[in-house]
């Protein structure tokens, strides 16, 4: 159930954001200079990124935990040719923006009036967005607001210490600025430069195959030299854009999940299907692979994009002697980019015909 933030929470959010905005941290930090905040009671840190070094969009990105950060890092360091939207809709984060009046909804402008908060000019209006995997940006929930207040208040203290020169951090040489609370002295907080971890562990469910008869059947089938690319990707158009008949549905803000398979050697996509909301992509992938092996033989190798898809398929590939690489899917990416351009042109044409 989505519970909206209280008036007091909105007041605290805007006050905390205004204090950070006054520091103009984007004049000193890049998007990839992450600040780490370990809040009491949380197993994993929350990571913050200052947005705006490029001079166009200003704000703070908040990534709650290692998986959220890993997805963001994968987006930042995506290989050349990989469509940006592939990772855009995989993000789980809260963003605080410093933007323009027209970027706010009517409800948000009414809320500011109720709060007695006034902003004037370009880049001065503060607003918040929750980015949840597979969905368009949404308003904050009450729970997200509580976390965001905590983070922004602590982030202000970290940024002030850094900008005043009280802490030296070499982000380019693999350091992060960490803030944490003393376990015994509850009112005592520390800030320090610490090494940035080489990797970030988080729980990804592994689908173990324990049906011996099934495995025996798969392994009895001849192995081929074929290399397949396989992944599932959120497509860059919401359901309302793809299917206007759903315009009144609560699911209009959902991005459809697209299951894709490509023949890496032939350089072409061989299968693509939009999954229903309740479809489990890993079950769909394993069913596809079972049918593929039965009809075409075991592929020599399967390529996936990242750790989540790869981890799901790891046990199947290991027990059927199929090499698995989690380094990218260039053929799938090329096909998705072409499809996105075609759909974009189609929607633009529809808009022109209605005007």
Instruction: Tell how strand 268-274 and strand 323-325 pair up.
Output: unpaired
CA dihedral 168, 50, 71, 129 (to 10 degrees): 150
What pTM was computed for the model?
0.85
String of DSSP letters for 210-248 = --HHHHHHHHHSPB-S-EEEEEEEE-SS-HHHH-GGGTT
pLDDT of residue 14: 97
pLDDT of residue 247: 44
pLDDT of residue 74: 83
pLDDT of residue 350: 44
CA dihedral 145, 149, 155, 156 (to 10 degrees): 140
H helices within the chain, ranges in order? 7-23, 66-76, 85-88, 106-115, 142-163, 212-220, 239-242, 281-296, 307-319, 330-354
H helices within 33-141, ranges in order? 66-76, 85-88, 106-115
Whether residue 81 contacts residue 100, with contact meaning beta carbons closer than 8 Å, is answered with no
Q: Delineate the domains of the chain, giving CATH numbers in brackets.
A: 7-195 (no CATH), 212-354 (3.30.420.10)
pLDDT less than 50: residues of the chain: 244-250, 347, 349-355
pLDDT of residue 66: 92
pLDDT of residue 251: 53
String of DSSP letters for 288-320 = HHHHHHHHH-B-SEEE-SSHHHHHHHHHHHHHT
316-355 tens-digit pLDDT: 999 999 999 988 899 998 888 887 677 666 545 443 333 3
Number of other CB atoms surrounding residue 63 within 10 Å: 25
């Amino acid at each position: 159930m989505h519970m909206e933030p209280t008036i007091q929470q909105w007041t605290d959010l805007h006050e905390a954001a205004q204090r950070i905005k006054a520091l103009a941290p984007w004049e000193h930090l890049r998007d990839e200079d992450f600040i780490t905040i370990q809040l009491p009671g949380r197993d994993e840190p929350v990571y913050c990124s200052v947005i705006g070094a490029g001079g166009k969009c200003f704000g703070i990105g908040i990534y709650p935990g290692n998986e959220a950060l890993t997805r963001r890092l994968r987006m930042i360091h995506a290989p050349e040719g990989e469509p940006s939207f592939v990772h855009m809709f995989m993000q789980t984060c809260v963003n605080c923006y410093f933007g323009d009046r027209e970027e706010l909804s009517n409800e948000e402008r009414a809320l500011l009036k109720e709060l007695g908060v006034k902003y004037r000019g370009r880049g001065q209006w503060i607003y918040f967005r929750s980015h949840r995997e597979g969905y368009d940006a949404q308003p904050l929930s009450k729970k997200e607001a509580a976390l965001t207040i905590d983070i922004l208040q602590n982030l202000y203290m970290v940024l002030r210490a850094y900008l005043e020169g009280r802490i030296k951090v070499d982000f380019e040489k693999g350091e992060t600025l960490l803030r944490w609370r003393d376990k015994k002295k509850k009112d005592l907080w520390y800030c320090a430069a610490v090494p940035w971890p080489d990797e970030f562990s988080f729980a990804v469910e592994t689908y173990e195959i324990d049906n011996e008869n099934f495995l025996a059947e798969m392994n009895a089938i001849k192995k081929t030299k074929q290399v397949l690319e396989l992944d599932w990707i959120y497509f860059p158009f919401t359901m309302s854009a793809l299917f206007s008949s759903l315009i009144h549905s609560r699911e209009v803000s959902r991005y459809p999940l697209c299951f894709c398979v490509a023949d890496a050697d032939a350089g072409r996509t061989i299968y693509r299907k939009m999954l229903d909301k309740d479809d489990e992509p890993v079950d769909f992938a394993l069913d596809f692979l079972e049918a593929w092996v039965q009809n075409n033989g075991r592929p020599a190798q399967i390529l996936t994009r990242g750790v989540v898809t790869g981890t799901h398929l790891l046990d199947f590939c290991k027990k059927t002697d199929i090499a698995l690489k989690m380094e990218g899917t260039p053929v799938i990416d090329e096909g998705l980019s072409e499809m996105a351009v075609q759909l974009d042109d189609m929607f633009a044409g529809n808009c022109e015909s209605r005007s």
